[in-house]
Chain A
């Protein structure tokens, strides 16, 4: 596709801040989103295996409802975290994103309802399993399959968006315009690599799960040891599969010897050693986050190179600086988001560590963070209305 066309497809309003910032935010938030996609896939998949063991095995009896619950919460979080990369990609790669969405318009519509049906069925699975131990097998499998299909659709949008040279052929094959929105593209090895990561992610999750519960008197040593060793097995096998599929993917697109690709390989090897030893899974998780960021950066590098080779550089996107709204975002993100989420997570951590009712009012950190969160939110509202009234009076009086 001609550079002049790609450049014309950029929004004439320009971008409201420096493109590199959107690029960095994209890489960061995609990695967060992907982490929960993988945790959801891994815990859902493992929980389905668990439904076959839950009735007879006392360990799976306790663990499986937790896995189902983890899947359930992870889906919610992956959805909300997925909004951010979706937002940032549209700012700097709008030509790619909008072309992919219009070419696959029907799939876009289907994607939404696939996700709704899959997630509602997952709740059904959750309740069926709660009612009868080992229950909801079939519903669980169907919901898992539906949600995996939703993931494949998302993969289609991402792949189509980086095929600019083929867009015209997809839209008007042999000069006949097709407005049906049924364009569908897949890259099997890339998809296999991404999906394979669900196995090590759930493995590392299980190591964390075991470590977290090891301080609770109501969980036996046998339970803690079993979950840790299962986590290690899954982690090691999963990482080996992911390493092979990653190498194949890189070979296919000729990036294997790129420094970023090599850094990922090193990261995976480090992860493999840490998972195998399982000395401190929280540190392993930290390394996993770094590897996730590198993988996210790899995806971005591939896209950046494809576009740069066609003469489209995001760094040349015209900038129309928009200061007040980025100030609002930064303050909200860092202060309200930071304090608020810290409060919620601290509370969740302490409730999880505690047996019975946790008295947050006697916990200094929980009380203070809660009070700060409320005060910041009230202040936020005051600033919002003050700002709005100032702008409005200024413009209408």
Chain B
């Protein structure tokens, strides 16, 4: 029997299921980056407090720690598996590919997580229950464990973009997949962002302590300003390196919105440079509402569009440049014995090879043509595009507005020949092209 391992389809109306992953991912990035950055900052502060015998720093650390515990370890630790869950529902084969390549890497990261979760409670609750030297060691180990989690996940998410070299396809080795050309620049880019975020969160806490201790609040606000500046500089610096290690299809997508992206990033850089400068020069001007608002600005204007762009630049793939977003394996990976599914789909059609297509839709007839077309469109397009006339997320309507059936078919034929680098080269039998075109045309975008 000629079937491929495709799963049932989950589609969230108007937005598409990938969008749900984006929401969870954005929240997770804020929380997880804060937690790693804060762990490094914590180690720095603990070292300073211990070496200079600055007992006044401990209450700040305790406050910061409580915030970290609630914010990063509640939200971060749930949204982490949350990305995994929602990604599983949206792109099961993409996640499966990552799991089957990197299960031991993930299991290793889990060891660090266990250490971190137990560690964070001790770090916060034992701050005045153990001696300072042991507490300092705890903060150092906590920072190392946090950076360890980054070191482990970074190779996996870099592989999602691409393995970077051809070695992985030949060997199938997790090491070749993990350490691509993109991995280290990506890692340091994120470390910069983590340092910056730790400072930005630190500003929120230092500004909130003004009533209790004005002098300390100003001193820490200044310090956080410097730390944020350092982080921001590292982000910009490593972003250049990172962009240089991306594949051609990523640049093809990037070029579409390049001018807008650069413009918005310049504005963000200026706004945040001024904010950090203000923290250094006039710390008393950094009030808690402003510090809170700036975190929100990072979330909405920084992380959300940034992650959306990174996800778009991966197109048409979802992992390792061998699985398309629409869950089809698009190339051989000799090292793992993986075969491209494109030839069999071109020959038999998606309806025949997908095991979850019900019997009444396996063969297209005049009676079921629209229903089959709808299912085929969902299977082929909905991972990236919302389909409704009122669709919100990368809607098909914006791309196919006013087109008739023949026009749509023309685009499908071109796609089947690989005309667009950011779209899957999905060749289908004539009757499936026809059913898709008929269904999309019936929506009258």
Contacts and interface: CB of A to CB of B under 8 A. Distances in A.
Partners in one complex: yes
Interface of A: 4-5, 8-17, 22, 25, 73, 76-77, 79-84, 86-88, 90-91, 94-95, 97-99, 101-106, 108-109, 111-112, 115-116, 119-120, 123, 167-168, 171-172, 175-177, 179-181, 318, 320, 322, 324-326, 328-329, 332-333, 336-337, 340-341, 343-345, 347-348, 351, 357-361, 366-367, 370-371, 373-374, 377-378, 380-381, 384, 387-388, 391-392, 394-396
Contacts of A374: 137, 140-141, 144
Interface in B41-72: 70
B134 A91 contact: no
15 contacts: A12-B336, A14-B337, A83-B113, A90-B99, A91-B103, A105-B17, A168-B356, A177-B375, A333-B111, A344-B119, A351-B126, A358-B130, A360-B134, A370-B141, A374-B140
B106 interface: yes
A345 B118 contact: yes
Given A82-B81, A109-B20, 20 more contacts: A11-B5, A11-B96, A11-B99, A13-B337, A22-B103, A86-B81, A90-B99, A102-B8, A112-B78, A112-B81, A116-B78, A175-B361, A324-B173, A325-B178, A340-B141, A341-B115, A343-B141, A351-B126, A367-B134, A374-B144
Contact of B105 (A12, A76, A325): A325
B131 A97 contact: no
Contact of B118 (A12, A332, A344, A378): A344
Given A14-B100, A388-B184, A120 B356 contact: no
Interface of B: 1, 3-5, 7-12, 17, 20, 24, 70, 73-75, 77-82, 84-86, 88-90, 92-93, 95-97, 99-108, 110-119, 121-122, 126, 128-131, 133-134, 137-138, 140-141, 144-145, 147-148, 151, 164-165, 167, 172-176, 178-181, 183-184, 329, 333, 336-339, 355-361, 375, 378
B78 A79 contact: yes
Contact of A177 (B17, B24, B115, B361): B361
A371 B128 CA distance: 21
A102 B360 contact: no
B85 A16 contact: no
A109 B96 contact: no
A322 B102 CA distance: 9
Contacts of B119: 344
A370 B130 CA distance: 13
Contacts of B329: 12
Contacts of B359: 175
Contacts of A345: 118
A325 B152 CA distance: 11
A328 B355 contact: no
Contacts of B11: 179-181
Contacts of B20: 109
Contacts of B173: 322, 324
B126 A347 contact: yes
B85 A112 contact: yes
A156 to B, nearest CB: 13
A120 B119 CA distance: 20
A119 B74 contact: yes
A107 to B, nearest CB: 9
A120 B74 contact: yes
A321 to B, nearest CB: 10
Contacts of A176: 358
Max chain B Cβ within 10 angstroms of own Cβ: one of A359, A381, A391: A391
Q: Which 9 A-B pairs have the closest CB atoms?
A: A105-B10, A360-B134, A105-B89, A112-B82, A325-B104, A98-B92, A172-B358, A175-B360, A179-B11
B117 A80 contact: yes
Contacts of A79: 77-78, 81, 117
Nearest to A89: B99
A84 B78 contact: no
A357 B127 CA distance: 10
A23 to B, nearest CB: 13
B86 A13 contact: no
Contact of B104 (A109, A329, A394): A329
Contacts of B107: 25, 84, 87, 329, 333
A11 B176 CA distance: 19
B111 A337 contact: yes
A94 B167 contact: no
